[in-house]
Amino acid sequence: MSDTADTSNEYTKIYHTKCLTDASDVTHTVLYKKSTCTRVDDLVLNFHCSRDSKCVKCQQNYL
């Protein structure tokens, strides 16, 4: 067993959108893990908002 992480099934998407709180322009960067089945959505591993990385409102849009 290897101690290194397998990142071959992970990918990042960048979304340019409006903030739900104050309608300012923000960038959401989302790291996904590819699902093994096409009927299941890909898993969100990490979310970052350029305005507030702890914003739960924005993060829920990608779950």
- For the segment 1-58, what is each residue's pLDDT rounded down to a tens digit? 444 556 689 999 999 999 888 889 999 999 999 988 888 899 999 999 998 877 778 8
The more confident residue out of 61 and 41 is 41
CA separation for the pair 39, 48 (Å, rounded): 26
pLDDT score recorded for residue 6: 62
CA separation for the pair 55, 14 (Å, rounded): 16
Q: What pTM was estimated for this model as a whole?
A: 0.75
Name residue 15's beta-bridge partners. Answer: 28
pLDDT score recorded for residue 42: 92
